[in-house]
Structure 1
Amino acid sequence: MHHNHNHNHHHKSVMLRPFFLLIFLLNLAASALTAVEYTKNDFPPGFIFGSGTSAYQVEGAANEDGRTPSIWDTFAHAGNVPGTGDVACDEYHKYKEDVKLMADTGLDAYRFSISWSRLIPRIQPHVTLHHFDLPQALEDEYGGWINRMIVKDFTAYADVCFREFGDRVSYWTTVNEPNGFAMVGYDFGIAPPKRCSPPFNNCSRGNSSTEPYMAVHHLLLAHASVARLYKKNYQLIFIYVLNFRVANPLLYGDYPKIMKQNAGSRLPAFTDRESQQIKGSADFIGVINYYTVYIKDNPSSLKQEHRDWSADTATKAFFEQDTATSSNEPSSLQIVLEYFKRVYGNPPIYVHENGLATPRHSSLEDISRVKYLHAYIGSVLDAVRNGSNTRGYFVWSFLDVFELLDGYASSYGLYYVDRDDPDLKRYPKLSAHWYSQFLKGRNMRSDEVFTLEKKISSLAYDLDFQ
């Protein structure tokens, strides 16, 4: 999620992203008008605008220069998702071309992740240490994130990253979208490491009732360990991508009372020392938002004999996905940002993922995406004007990447990647032109979509989408 964070991030499908965001958005039934006319200059000085990808989804070169498989390589090659990330966008070889494209577009920053199983080395980099792609060797050795041993190994990996790249990177994220990672990997079992138990019957091992909690618990401990290491030895800025389920431990040192009540002994407990180490360990917060999820009370889920992570929320979700044919609610993002202001003391926030899915083989004139971005960026501006301490916004995704749950069927990219071209040529979509004009200070009105379409229609490439 994404993913997403998926996003993504990772495919933000109708079946999956709502569950990611069920935990993430609360009840977003309220609506509000967003800014309809604005420029980049309406945002506070220093506000960052960027776009993002993640290692497995964009790099390719899966077997080069000593890289070993991650759990996503294993999962994709087992046929669990259409396609693989073996080549993806081949950014491993084309990164210089893509960085020039980022600069030409006008990005302030680029959000990407380092492949733990590869550990490779003027746009400001925002680096995620772990974007779902755990080394397969650690999964095989001791079960990965469900084993406390992961805390030591993740800290050692982070130390190498900080030591090698710390002079060039001052914005670090520990783990992307922990709620989605736990949900699809350890509860539903539809993503690696594909662990689950009945009523989910697509796994050969796992326990949907306990392992999602174990994975998130160890994620929090690993985050706190890495944050301590960073602040002790490197003294720059540290960030963490989180959701409301893990906001409480990071800000208050413990899980929410209702979470402990519903999960009972299945939820691991923090020692007093761990609680103190986790509390306040995030310097700022990353938010991932795609569309609205509505929830309502569903107490019957608490009566199930074998409850999983999602049943413990005691809710039912019903939702509307933002597509070209359904209404979107950009006010949802404003509500999330202002919720952090009201409930958590207004911490610094970066919107790490926000974007719209379209079928991959569709027109480069992605008017629906332009409308979406215009509305959601306006929603961020409204939140900032209302006092939210939001400091940056990243579109998912810069290129059409390998989406983690449906491969190359859908896309979120500002730039189309022609997979039939041996050179994987990049082509700007209408959204790339629009975002670039916005980044360069143009006055972007709500009707700018249509005037811009006319102005640059002669620049749009007419590809053969066979």
Structure 2
Amino acid sequence: MMMKKLGFLLQLLVASLVKAEIVSGADEFTRYDFPPGFVFGAATSAYQVEGAANEDGRTPSIMDTWAHSDSVITGGANGDIACDQYHKYKEDVQLMAEMGLDAYRFSISWSRLIPRIEPHVTIHHFDLPQALEDEYGGWISRKIVKDFMEYADICFRMFGDRVKYWTTFNEANIFTMAGYDLGFLPPNRCSSPFGYFNCTRGDSSLEPYLAAHNIILSHASAARLYQKKYQSIQKGYMGLNLLSFYFVPCTNRTEDVIATQRANDFFLGWFVEPLVRGDYPEVMKKNAGSRLPSFTALESQRVKGSYDFFAVNFYSASYVKDNPESLNIEPRDYKADMAMDWKSMQENASSKYTPLPSSEIPLTPWGLQGVLELFKQNYGNPPIFIHENGQRMQRNASLEDWPRIQYLQEHISVLLDTVRNGSNAKGYFTWSFLDVFELLDGFRTGYGLYYVDLDDPELRRYPKLSAEWYSRFLKGGSIAPDGIELEGNWSSLSSAKVMK
């Protein structure tokens, strides 16, 4: 198995080094070149877009607590109002219909719980009710498994007749790493000397693994409940979402190549292997030792196969360098257990928009191909959705967001090639439909197809050039290497009146 993995990894290394120089993709394509039933949509999440934080019985989540207490990351912003989609949802659905979206990915707020577009629903998107965090520690307690299953049961019962695609958790790997080891996202748990900030509670050595274990058990419990009680009637599907980097060895040294596989095991295999094979990757059990919980035989049986699809959020690739010295650290955290250093790529794979502005994400579409190939080669080619993919830009810069258009075009083009090469990808959602409250910087930057004027009491939406591009593509427009010709006086829309 290890030699097979290394052989596959070396093939991807060679391919990535070539693609880093020249981004390959379909020469000219339309959405109809994708298989029948392939879904194109856009995405948001409840706390980041809804607003109405204190209306209709909603109680605070750990996202509320974090956003109101952390001004360093969010710049003092929060999601109390956000884009006010709670009140403006009819207007937004109309925009989606006019654009031609097949589907809209959003989340249900656990702390709020109360079509023309196919809904893809996330049950937990970082927003655990604060009451459960206070009562028993949230995801570090086994009590959460029963409570999550009961919450999921309510979702299935109330909305299952209209929802066919359920995702239990968004970015389960990042939620546990950033929330329980590094401590910069809710619930802000970490321990010295680990963590980006001085957390007042937590254990970076143990809690990331404990929270992840309970998330996996919660996912499996919800999935088995759905399969037993609802699936035969509602005909829906259950999946899990993870953030995916495509890891590239810094050099062709064997140690860096093996470290890259180790990065994949710790980052994706941490959650994927239990669902596919019933247990954690061997290298995680070796490096984390007794800090990594074990599955009982019954739990392993329950977890294995508890999915209909996987979903990934992909933005860019990262370099990996072997760092065996980190295994000598005592105590050590999840990050040190990986025994590698990683570094985000800072350059584009093509030179059209270089030098790259600091707010933008490096353009590495071949990394998406690598991630999908990894699922195909290592995990049996399961059905997979790209739930998030998009370009970050300075929020008030311009409605003429050409870098975002290039980003979307090159990723969709490479996605088509990957599907033609046998990937079982089923759909693509760009992040995000609107400029939402972003977890890493509040409202300083945006990924949206639509700009939201936060200074306007009505929070008016303005389409960006990327909205027009995506709409043309969704409605069958042909995409050539130089893009789609767009009509209209776009410079007038990005006037000072709009972009204050």
Fold equivalence (TM over 0.5): yes
User: How many Å separate the matches in 2 of 1:463 and 1:373?
Assistant: 26
Distance 1:384 1:456, change over 3 A: farther
Residue in structure 2 matching 1:217, options 189, 213, 217: 213
Shift of 1:342: 1.1
Residue in structure 2 matching 1:207, options 203, 206, 209: 203
- Aligned-partner SS, 1:355: coil
User: How many Å separate the matches in 1 of 2:411 and 2:18?
Assistant: 13
Residue in structure 2 matching 1:232, options 228, 234, 256: 228
2:188 corresponding residue in structure 1: 194
Gaps of 5+ in 1: 1-25
1:40 corresponding residue in structure 2: 31
**Superposition pairs for residues 39-438 of structure 1, below 5 Å?**
39-80=30-71, 81-82=74-75, 83-120=77-114, 122-199=116-193, 200=195, 201-235=197-231, 236-242=236-242, 243-321=268-346, 324=353, 325-326=355-356, 328-438=363-473
Structure ID, larger Rg = 2
Between 1 and 2, higher relative CO (CA 8 Å, sep ≥ 6) is seen in 1
User: How many Å separate the matches in 1 of 2:18 and 2:187?
Assistant: 38
Shift of 1:364: 0.4
Shift of 1:36: 3.4
Letter in 2 for 1:260: K
Shift of 1:287: 1.1
- Aligned-partner SS, 1:287: strand
Per-residue CA deviations over 1:250-309 (Å, capped at 9, x if unaligned) read: 100000000100000000000000001110101011011001111121111111112111
Distance 1:391 1:322, change over 3 A: farther
Number of matched residues?
Answer: 439
- Aligned-partner SS, 1:387: coil
Does the Cα contact within 8 Å between 1:186 and 1:211 map onto a contact in 2? yes
Per-residue CA deviations over 1:59-80 (Å, capped at 9, x if unaligned) read: 0000000000000101111134
Does the Cα contact within 8 Å between 1:401 and 1:413 map onto a contact in 2? yes
- Aligned-partner SS, 2:274: helix
- Aligned-partner SS, 1:445: coil
Does the Cα contact within 8 Å between 1:61 and 1:90 map onto a contact in 2? yes
- Aligned-partner SS, 1:310: helix
104-113 or 336-345, larger mean C-alpha shift: 336-345
Q: Percent identity?
A: 61
Shift of 1:217: 0.3
Per-residue CA deviations over 1:51-101 (Å, capped at 9, x if unaligned) read: 000000000000000000000101111134321100000000000000010
Distance 1:460 1:36, change over 3 A: farther
Letter in 1 for 2:175: F
Letter in 2 for 1:395: T
2:495 corresponding residue in structure 1: 462
Shift of 1:182: 0.8
Per-residue CA deviations over 1:215-268 (Å, capped at 9, x if unaligned) read: 100000000000010001101311111333211001000000001000000000
User: How many Å separate the matches in 2 of 1:440 and 1:372?
Assistant: 19
User: How many Å separate the matches in 2 of 1:289 and 1:187?
Assistant: 22
Does the Cα contact within 8 Å between 1:291 and 1:322 map onto a contact in 2? no
344-353 or 327-336, larger mean C-alpha shift: 327-336
Per-residue CA deviations over 1:314-334 (Å, capped at 9, x if unaligned) read: 111122157753352201001
Shift of 1:431: 0.5
Distance 1:31 1:118, change over 3 A: farther
Shift of 1:31: 4.2
User: How many Å separate the matches in 1 of 2:16 and 2:480?
Assistant: 26
Does the Cα contact within 8 Å between 2:409 and 2:483 map onto a contact in 1? no
Distance 1:169 1:29, change over 3 A: same
Length-normalised TM-score, structure 2? 0.85
User: How many Å separate the matches in 2 of 1:35 and 1:78?
Assistant: 47
Gaps of 5+ in 2: 1-11, 243-267, 357-361
Does the Cα contact within 8 Å between 2:393 and 2:445 map onto a contact in 1? yes
